[in-house]
Amino acid sequence: MHRIARCVLVGIVAIALWPAPSAGAPQAPAARPISLALLMAAPGRSDLSWSFMHWLGAEQARRTGQVSDLRIVVSTPATALSDMTLVVRDGQFDLIYVASFSTYGTALRDLANRFPDRQYAISDIRPQFGDADPGNRAVLGLLYQQEQPSAMAGALAAALALHYDCPSVGIVLGREIPVLHEFEMGYKWGVDWAIRRLSETNPDVVRNKRLARAARKDRVLWTYTGAFNDPARGREATEAQVRQGACVVYQVAGATGLGVLGYMDDHHRTRNVPIGQPPFAIGVDTVQEWVSPHVVGSALKRADEAVLLAVRLVREGRFREVVQRDRSVWLNFGNRGTWFSDPQLVREWVRRAVEIGALDGSKGGEVLANYGRLREPQPRWVWQLVDDLRGLIEQGRVEIPRPFGDPQRWPIERLRETYG
Amino acid sequence: MTALRRGARRAEPVWDVAFALAGALAIAAVVLRAAGYPPLAVLRGAFGFSLFTAHGITTTLAFATPLIFTGLCFLIGVRAGIFNVGAEGVVMVSAGASVAFGALLALPAPVHLPLTLVVAIAVGVLWMLPSALLKAHRQVHEVLSTIMLNWIAIFLVAFLIAYPLRDRDFPARTVLILPSSRLDPLFPGTSLTVMLAAGILLCLAAYVLLYHTPTGLHLRATGADPAAAHAIGIDVRRLTMLAFLLGGAVAGVAGFTLTAGFPPYWNIDEHMQSLLRMGFLGIVVSAMARNHPLGCVLSAIVVAAVLTSRSYLQLAHGIVYEFAELLAGIVVILLALPGISRDIARWRAKQAARHRALTPSPAGVRGR
Amino acid sequence: MSRLVAAVAVLAGAAALTLLRGPTATASLALMALAAMVPIALPAIGEVVNQKGGVFNIGLEGIMLIASVAAVYAAEQGGNGLVGLGGGLVSGAAVALLFGLAVTYGRANQTIAGLGLNFFGIGAVAFLIFEIWGAPGFHRVPEALRIQPLATPAGLLRWLSVAAVLMPVLAVGLLQHTPFGLRLRAVGHNALVSDVSGIEVYRLRLAACVLGGALAGLGGAYMSLDWIGLASIDLIAGRGFVALACVVFSGLNPWRAVAAAFVFSVFNALGLWLQVEPWARPLMARGGSALFLMLPYASVLALLVASPAREAFPREIGRPYERP
């Protein structure tokens, strides 16, 4: 190898071996706004659903001045432990929020035991500490009752299917993982509830309708596309379901779900079906009414709210108290951590989106106009039913299966026997 | 004199890779500067972090360990003339088998761990078997059969995680491997285990096998020229199958490493994040090591260091993850130009020869 | 013989489906498969041309990703979906040109270069989507810019599906009936001899790379501008690799490549369709969705066992050429 090249190489190596600055950016936290470290799993906010929602919440906190220093770290399983440790050890963050790390409850426990003076929050994981563990008062679990909005999605879907006399409703899901079982079963429960309820309160709309006459296990078409990141599959799955007669399709599939919504648009456009006629879609995670004019509702799982809640608790100094008392906080209809979209929320959401520039003004107006055209032709009893269920859930008067939140009580195998 | 020259020539691949790495880092520096970051500080820091800080080096080495195994899997295949990309699937199924055996069966401690390893290896071999048979008897191209089996493995393991292996209390992951079948970390708070040493030993074993045994010679002969090998009486079919199955065994060890040998988790999460891409990265490792077993360890460490540095970029400089991924990709693609140094040398030699030919020597024409 | 068996199998399958579910169902499935086939068949045909010259480019996924984003950008700038398709084609060709330069003149290891290209594509696309549209992750293509398909009662027929089905004609024509094709195949068979006989090895390989990249780019652009209407980091979702698998199956016969792409797409659609069939419910209740999702991959395996490729790969495949 040429001598000069060798020298260059040695020079580069020498420079490289020079003592490197340490990892982690020590920052003194501001007095009132806090510093937040958000740890996510790859691919981070580009997953468009789970991690993205957390990022949204963190961004919102930063933009409203609640968080002065926001550090986002995306890790892979190989680096997660090290990243977490470094963030905690070298940074002086007021709150360390761990998102999308379903297995790292254990790692976080060990970390919290080593650094119990910090404040940690983790999504979807119930922190497991013994009473003697020093980390006992350090980690807050934020858990979601996603069966609640899914039940409302089911009720809405069933109501619309009864009105338009469709034989079934559908749900298109991503990968078959236990969290999604909770969405799936909530939806099926909601369909069942709606038919039972309407049979009592409004039997005319149920009589002789195909959905009501079908066996319980035949009412909901469910497809696991096997991917959260393949819009094309979402599209194909929806096409298959719509062909089988499903006139409402609930998408629980992240980016794959964009294909579901896209199919709805194409279906309506190429067959000249006006807005307000089936097939409809129901969105998930965020308000998705703006994505397609055929989205009759969205099951909201407000991971962004979870982040804001944790930030609020830290700022108000109530963090330790809540951890000590409850260990975990459930995000549900009670605190709007999960929710189902209603017209007021949709309008508010569009207004805010236009305000921050995410949606331009004319598009915002168009979205709201389409939303009106979507809701207007539907009979009032449909919306009444949905609101009834909302009230019942808020008051805790219905019991929806929770195979993820309470797996010992609601094993998936038994639920499948009942609902399919 | 010749021994020195031979040694120098053998060291050439190392220089090539080092040179390629330097070139890659230079380009990365340019990209960093364009994006407004101080290139030298960032690159120095990244390098220093990945290799010279306690957290960095343990992460890098822990990350590199499974890559050594998947790299060996690909490497053995290449040396035998097959393009075995089935490590991905084997890692999945052997990881699933490790969890199943390690978590669902209660065996006494001294026996449990080694048996789990044996199970992982056996499952790895079995998963490779269809591709091996298809290649040996139906001349089915292994790339296709292994890729299809990779995908089937992903869905199979996804099913296992959601149903039979599901932790009834904690459905977001599988049941935890029992303590009797776990490998503890070498240093508390890290994921580094004794499997790194196993990886180094396995590389040495692979080297000895390939270069100092008759079987290895036959394997390489099969890879170099199957027709000639067949002509001189080597059982090409048997050796091809052997290459597949050895690859499966080694990749099975990777699956074990990523579950039983992956503290403090000892499970597979519902997204299988710890398992994905390991086979794929093994291909990069092997190719970078010029498909030589002795280069595997170093190559794995280099690749792992590049990937670990993404953490540094985010932690120390607030670089967004997407950009860190981009940089890592640039470095990896540029590591594919190890030939440059050799070409420069050869070009220089040609220039020198031309110069000599045009300048007559003072002593007149010398007899040749 | 196996071709006859294959034809009979296809007809039998279609007949069975028609009897069980009616002609519309069969037609719908066929149309779904035709639409899904394009982003697999086009890059596969491009790669067939590439590999005839002895270069193998596993970076198809990366090329398709970049092209899918570039196509949307071009369409928005040019105000027209066709301009967008062109943009995708050109960007695919450009990226492939860089790859080609690396593996010919740069003597790079084609495996690593291709893998790096994939890595690069994934990272670059996330970055680009954020930079161009400010949205992390995805951007919807405005309705007016999308390529409009032909609406039939059974579903949508897309123009590029027709193009993909007919593309092997062009490919075979290029490879077998033009001087370029002849020289390219010579280079793939024996680069040294070709070089000695005066064929510009590197230039031909570069041309093949560019052609392959252009087709892959077209496939990527199809996904964003035509089929899905979205620019997203997850848009391609592995189809570049499926295309590679089809190339391997094809034994470098463009018709076989398209056939493999079609079979894969049919079973992919079936895997989703069958999950909602009544008879599938007991299976689904026990986690059987995994079984249905495996179908396309198992089908290709079955295809392989039934019909292994007869044509061998060119001798020079993967070997960077260096004039000794």
Taking 80 as the threshold, does the pLDDT of residue B213 lie above it? yes
* Residue B196 pLDDT exceeds 90: yes
Task: Return the DSSP state at A44.
Answer: G
Share of chain A above pLDDT 90, in %: 56
The stretch C10-21 carries a mean pLDDT of 83
The label of the residue with tokens 């007669």 reads: A245
* Residue B297 contacts residue B200 (beta carbons within 8 Å): yes
User: How far B150 CA lies from chain C's nearest CA (Å)?
Assistant: 9
- In Å, how far is C286's CA from the nearest CA of chain A? 7
* Helix pair B54-79, A77-90: axis angle to 10 deg: 170
Which of B124, B60, B108, B28 lies closest to B312 in space, CA to CA? Answer: B60
* pLDDT score at B361: 56
Determine, yes or no, domain membership for C47: yes
- In a domain? residue C32: no
Mean model confidence pLDDT for chain C: 89
CB A234 within 8 A of CB A172: yes
The residue-averaged pLDDT of A36-46 equals 84
Residues of C in Cβ contact (< 8 Å) with B140: 304-305, 308
CA dist A219 to A191, A248, B161, Å? 8, 11, 28
The answer to whether the CB of C46 falls within 8 A of the CB of C222 is: no
Tell whether omega for the bond before A29 is within 30 degrees of 0, i.e. cis: no
Mean pLDDT, rounded, for A160-177: 95
Q: What mean pLDDT do residues B269-295 have?
A: 87
Cβ(A159)–Cβ(A386) under 8 Å? Answer: yes
Q: How many structural domains compose chain C?
A: 1
Q: Give percent above pLDDT 70 in chain B.
A: 86
**Assigned fold of A34-144+305-331:** Rossmann fold (3.40.50)
**CATH code for residues A147-301+339-419:** 3.40.50.2300
Look at residue B12 and tell me whether its pLDDT is greater than 70. Answer: no
Chain B positions touching C309 (Cβ under 8 A) are 141
> In terms of CA atoms, which chain B residue is nearest residue A412?
B163
Domains of chain B: 12-336 (1.10.3470)
Instruction: Choose from B8-12, B311-315, C88-92, C109-113 the range with maximum mean pLDDT.
Output: C88-92
Q: In whole angstroms, give the CA distance from residue C92 to residue C207.
A: 13
Residue C289, min C-alpha distance to chain A (Å):
6
Cβ atoms A279, C165 nearer than 8 A: no
Which chain A residue shows the shortest CA-CA distance from B266?
Answer: A103
Q: Which H helix or E strand runs over A328?
A: strand A328-331
Among chain B residues, the shortest Cα distance to A124 is held by B172
Which pair of tokens denotes residue C230?
A: 């979205």
Confidence of residue B114 (pLDDT cuts 50, 70, 90): very high
Domain-located, residue C264? no
- Using DSSP, state whether A258 is helix, strand or coil: helix
CB A70 within 8 A of CB A43: no
pLDDT at A135: 82
pLDDT at B239 exceeding the cut of 90: yes
Integer Cα distance of B135 and C71 in angstroms: 40
Whether A107 and B265 lie within 8 Å, measured CB to CB: yes
3-state secondary structure of A72: strand
- pLDDT over 70 at B355, yes or no: no
**Residue carrying the six token digits 């994905």:** B276
Fold match between domain A34-144+305-331 and domain A147-301+339-419? yes
End-to-end Cα distance, chain A:
69
Looking at chain B, list the stretches that DSSP marks H as alpha helix, in order from N- to C-terminal side: 2-34, 39-52, 54-79, 87-104, 109-138, 142-162, 195-212, 214-224, 226-231, 236-257, 278-288, 293-317, 321-334, 339-358
Is residue A101 over pLDDT 90? no
A21, A79, A178 ranked by CB distance to B45: nearest: A21
What are the tokens at A305?
């709210």
Range of the domain at C121: 37-146+156-244
ω into residue B108 within 30 of 0, thus cis? no
pLDDT over threshold 60, residue B354: no
pLDDT at A48: 63
Burial class (CB in 10 A: 0-12, 13-18, 19+), A150: buried
Instruction: For residue C217, name the pLDDT band (cuts at 50, 70, 90).
Output: very high
Q: Is 90 exceeded by the pLDDT of residue C111?
A: no
Q: Please tell me which residue of chain C has the smallest CA distance to A417.
A: C285
First to last CA, chain B: 23
C132 located within any domain: yes
The pTM (predicted TM-score) of the whole model is 0.87
b/e for C37-62, b at 16 or more Cβ within 10 A? Answer: bbbbbbbbbbbbbbbbbbbbbbbbbb
pLDDT at A211: 94
| C161 located within any domain | yes
CA distance C242 to chain B (A): 9
DSSP state letter for C143: G
Lowest mean per-residue pLDDT among A2-16, A218-232, B196-210: A2-16
| Under 8 Å between Cβ of C299 and C274 | no
pLDDT reported for residue C245: 87
Q: Residues 6 or more apart from A415 whose CB is under 8 A from it?
A: A181, A185, A401, A403
Contact at CB, C234 and A255, closer than 8 angstroms: yes
* Burial class, B105, CB count within 10 angstroms (exposed 0-12 / middle 13-18 / buried 19+): middle
The reported pLDDT for the residue numbered B356 is 62
Chain position carrying tokens 């105000």: C79
Could you state, in order of their start, the residue ranges of all structural domains in chain A?
A: 34-144+305-331, 147-301+339-419
Distance from the Cα of B70 to chain A's closest Cα (Å) equals: 15
What distance in Å separates the CA atoms of residue C88 and residue C243, rounded to the nearest whole number?
Answer: 18
Contact call for C109 and B151, based on CB within 8 A: no
Q: For A112-116, B199-203, C59-63, which range has the lowest pLDDT when averaged over its residues?
A: A112-116
Query: What is the CB neighbour count within 10 angstroms for residue A358?
Result: 14
How many CB atoms within 10 Å of residue C298?
A: 17
Strand order in the sheet with A168-173: A220-224, A168-173, A246-252, A280-285, A295-301, A338-340
Chains that touch B (3 or more CB pairs under 8 A): A, C
Which residue, B215, B206, B197, B217, is CA-closest to B294? B206
pLDDT band at C108 (very low <50, low <70, confident <90, very high): confident
Asked whether residue C31 is domain-assigned, the answer is no
Can you read off the two tokens belonging to residue C314? 């060119």
Q: Which residues pair with A71 in a beta bridge?
A: A37
- Determine which of C130, C147, C228 to mutate to test the interface with A (most A C-beta atoms within 10 Å): C228
Q: What integer is the mean pLDDT of C25-47?
A: 94
Residue A293 pLDDT > 80, yes or no?
yes
Which among A255, A280, A254 has a CA at the least distance from the CA of A265? A280
Put simply, the answer to whether C137 touches A45 (Cβ < 8 Å) is: yes
Q: What are φ and ψ of residue A343, in 5° steps?
A: -55, -40
Please give the single-letter amino acid code of residue B271.
H
C-alpha torsion sign, points B127, B131, B134, B136? negative
Go through A56-69 and write b for each residue having 16 or more CB atoms within 10 A of its CB, e for each that does not.
bbbbbbbeeebbbb
User: What is the rounded average pLDDT of the residues C247-264?
Assistant: 92
Contact with chain A for residue C222, Cβ under 8 A: no
The secondary structure of residue A337, as a DSSP letter, is S
- CB-CB neighbors (< 8 A) of C285 in chain A: 416-417, 420
DSSP strand pairing (C230-232 vs C138-140): antiparallel
Interface pTM, i.e. ipTM: 0.90
Chain C positions touching B147 (Cβ under 8 A) are 241, 244-245
Residue A151 has pLDDT above 90, yes or no: yes
Cα(A50)–Cα(A99) distance, rounded to whole angstroms? 8
For residue range A196-251, list pLDDT tens digits in order: 999 999 999 999 999 999 999 999 999 999 998 899 999 999 999 999 999 999 99
Query: Does residue C17 belong to any structural domain of this protein?
Result: no
Omega of the bond leading into A279 within 30 degrees of 0 (cis): yes
% of chain C exceeding 70 in pLDDT: 96
B166 DSSP assignment: B
The H or E element containing residue A413 is helix A412-419
Mean pLDDT value across chain A? 86
Cβ-Cβ contacts under 8 Å for A213 (sequence gap 6 or more): none
Residues A356-376: tens digit of each pLDDT: 777 778 888 999 999 999 999
Q: Which residues of A touch C (CB under 8 A)?
A: 43, 45-48, 52, 55, 170, 176, 217-218, 221-227, 229-233, 235-237, 239-241, 243-244, 255, 258-259, 262, 265-266, 269-271, 291, 358, 416-417, 420
pLDDT of residue B26: 86
pLDDT digits (tens, 9 = 90+) for C140-189: 888 888 888 888 888 889 999 999 999 999 999 999 999 999 999 999 88
In the structure, what pLDDT confidence band is assigned to residue A286 with cuts at 50, 70 and 90? confident
- Closest residue, chain B, to C241 (C-alpha): B147
**d(C-alpha B124, C-alpha A315), whole Å:** 52
